[in-house]
Each structure stands twice: as structure tokens, then as C-alpha cells.
Amino acid sequence: MKTQIQHLAQQYYEQIVLDRRHLHAHPELSFKEKETARYIAERLKSIGLSPQENIAGHGVVAVIEGKNPQRQCVALRADIDALPIIEKNEVPYKSKNEGVMHACGHDVHTASLLGVAQILQDLRQEFEGSVKLIFQPAEEVFPGGASLMIKEGVLAANSHTPAPKSIIGQHVMPLLEVGKIGFREGVYMASTDEIYVTVKGKGGHGAMPELGIDPVLIASHIIIALQQIISRNTPPKIPAVLTFGKVIAQGATNIIPNEVVLEGTFRTLSEEWRYEAHRRMKKMAESIAEGMGGGCEFNIVVGYPSLKNDVALTQRLKYFAQEYVGKENVIDLDIWMAAEDFAYYSQVTDACFYRLGTRNEAKGITSGVHTNTFDIDEEALKIGAGLMAWLAVKELAGAFY
């Protein structure tokens, strides 16, 4: 079976590249992926599948039925949305939608899963069970397409397909050389929450601060004090990050504004500490503002939970990956303080989110995700499609030895 999958991955490689380049050239933002979804659905229909469309917005789902399709099911997920970034790459497949770019590799994930669809459709008489293909919208924007697709029953059983016993997600990693695959058991990625703070004071002339209440000074104290929660209240064994990336004070060199706006992100790997930190941050910010004569509106938009890879599933998939690409090409990953709405799936069923190496320094392909020069070595697409198909088949077979 491995040889068959590798042969088919090579056979369909050119089409997978074409799919990736088409998607890269026509990116769409979260919840606006109409044409992307249409393209996915047409490609699935072209290989004999009957996709469900318009799930949780522009989500697309298809099922490949092997022998005894109701025996068990494994789900595979790809995200399809892009980012609000102006692409700087000068390549034939550069974004044609100004200000929108596939800078996080979702075009790679989608093209790879389309390749998986073709491979497994060809091999459907060679495995037992069903493989559910989930093309998910809106990974980049709260509340996240994963949570919405779950609410619409994407992980539930129906009359034709059992509930997935497990779900597998693949994501590019430009820190890994092409050909390498990364896994981590247990908690892997952080929760993410957005923090919006409005510090209120009383504006006035910069030469007479005693007549006003300076919200810039108050905001400065709040920023420093909140970092104290990370350094002095977070248990040392729990990773946590607080970053304020936006500070707006609409004053001037000689004008104290009436208010200052702070916007930031809070991330941690502990759900229990997450909500305790929320309470502490809000209390501290409000107390500081009040103590300095001002006021404070402290709002937290709760985002994605931390992502936990099921240990047993991840151990199995890591072993299967070693079979497919060689033990020397499968590495153990460290924790990652970025966030992913794939975490929602991990709260419903056994889940594994692994990394696909895309870096090639010899070709100058080294830029990180969410940058305007991000690109991949397209050799990764051979592995991206073939490996995912192999993992699905092996997981259905329950072969671990």
C-alpha cells in the first residue's frame, strides 16, 4: 500500500502543484472563501465525489468510502482562508487579489488534501472504512470555522458515515527543511485571547499636567503591571505570553489625550490558568486606573483553546510517518505558542496536528508564516498528499506494531 500511495502521489504531483498555485493566486479572507470553496467542490466532483457545500459558511466536506464504509471513519482537515497581507513575492502564482495572501500555507493544506482525495479515491477498494475530508473556512478569525463546523455536525455520525474515531491535521512549518515531518504528543499549541483596554483620563495641555489626568501615564503603568502577572503570578511550569502590539494615544507633543487604547494577545497552555489570569489582569488594570484618578474598560475576547494532541494517536501516526518518510526524517517538536482553531476538534475526538517541512535554504525559501514573502518548496506537496493518505489508511487499519 505504501508503494501504491507513493506512486500515486508522484503521479498526481503536477495536479497538486496546479491546485496549490491556483489557490495561492486567488486567496480569499476568512468567511469570504466563496470562490475557493467552489474550486474545491468542482475538483472533488471531477474525481467522482459528492461534496457537501456551504457548511459553516463556505466549508466543504466529502467522504471517500472504502470497503465496509460504516465500519469506522477517520477525518482529515485542511483550512482554506487567507490573510490580509500584501504579497511581495515575484512568482507566476503571486496573489491576484491585492491585499490578500496565502501567507500561512492554507493553499498548501488544501491542495494536499485534494491530492489525498484523488489518491484514496483510486485506492478505495484497498482499505476498509471511510475517510472524511474537511475543507474548513475561517481558521484565522474568531470564533474560528472549526467551532462552527462542529456545531453543524461535521464530527457527528449520520446515516451513511460513523463519527470519526480520530481527526488529523497538517500544517506547513518553514522552520523545518522540506522532507522533514514534526510531531508532538500532548499539549502542543497555546490558547489565544484578544485583550482590548480603554484607559480613560482627562486631556489637557502638556505643559499643565496637574490640571488633567494623564491616560498615557496610566496606560504605561498598566502595561508594566500586567507583565508582572506573567513573571510573578503564572506558575513557572506553565508557559504564558502577554503582548500588547497596539497602543493608540491620539494626543500630540503638547496635548494630553482623553483616553488611550491598548490591544494585545494573551496565550497559555493551561486552560485553568487562562481564566485565572483573565481575572487578575482585569482587576489589576482597573485598580491601577482608579488609583491614579482615571478609569479603565477592560475587555477580553476569548479565542481558541489550547491544542492537545492525543498521546496514543500521535504515537501511532509518528510511527506510520517513520514508515513512510524514514525514521531520520521524523522529529519531535517543542511547544508552540501560536494558536490554531484545530484545537476545537481535539475537544471532541482524538486529534493529531503535525507539521510539514517546507524550507529550502538553497532555493532561498526561508520566510516564516504570516510574512509577505512566505513561500514553500513545492517538493513538500509530494509528501503532504502522500503522507496524509498513508496516515489515514494506516489509522483505519489499526495497524500499530
Each residue of 36-85: pLDDT tens digit?
999 999 999 999 999 999 999 999 999 999 999 999 999 999 999 999 99
In which element (H, E) is residue 318 found?
A: helix 311-325
Residues 6+ apart with CB under 8 A from 364: none
| 193 assigned to active site | no
Each residue of 13-28: pLDDT tens digit?
999 999 999 999 999 9
Let me know whether 41 and 166 are in one domain. Answer: yes
Let me know whether 203 and 290 are in one domain. Answer: yes
pLDDT of residue 159: 85
pLDDT of residue 401: 37
Let me know whether 267 and 333 are in one domain. Answer: no
Let me know whether 277 and 292 are in one domain. Answer: yes
By C-alpha distance, which of 194, 155, 130 is closest to 59? Answer: 155
Residue 215 has pLDDT above 50, yes or no: yes
Residues 6+ apart with CB under 8 A from 64: 49, 117, 120, 121, 124, 130, 131, 133
Each residue of 103-156: pLDDT tens digit?
999 999 999 999 999 999 999 999 999 999 999 999 999 999 999 999 999 999
| Confidence band, pLDDT 50/70/90 cuts, at residue 400 | very low
pLDDT of residue 315: 97
Q: Residue 48 carries which DSSP code?
A: T
Alpha helices in 164-260 (DSSP H): 215-232
- Kindly report the CATH number assigned to the domain that includes residue 94: 3.40.630.10
Domain that holds residue 382: 2-189+306-397
Q: Would you tell me how many other CB atoms lie within 10 Å of the CB of residue 354?
A: 24
Active-site pick, 28, 79, 81, 310: 81
Active-site pick, 28, 122, 139, 395: 139
Each residue of 235-253: pLDDT tens digit?
999 999 999 999 999 999 9
Let me know whether 216 and 337 are in one domain. Answer: no
Let me know whether 141 and 213 are in one domain. Answer: no
By C-alpha distance, which of 287, 315, 286, 290 is closest to 298? Answer: 286
C-alpha distance from residue 135 to each of 24, 51, 183, 390 (Å)? 16, 10, 22, 19
Cell numbers that stand for 360 in this block: 529550502
Each residue of 274-320: pLDDT tens digit?
999 999 999 999 999 999 999 999 999 999 999 999 999 999 999 99
Residue 209 has pLDDT above 80, yes or no: yes
| 81 assigned to active site | yes
Asked whether 114 and 43 are in contact (CB, 8 A), the reply is: yes
Let me know whether 255 and 377 are in one domain. Answer: no
Let me know whether 48 and 161 are in one domain. Answer: yes
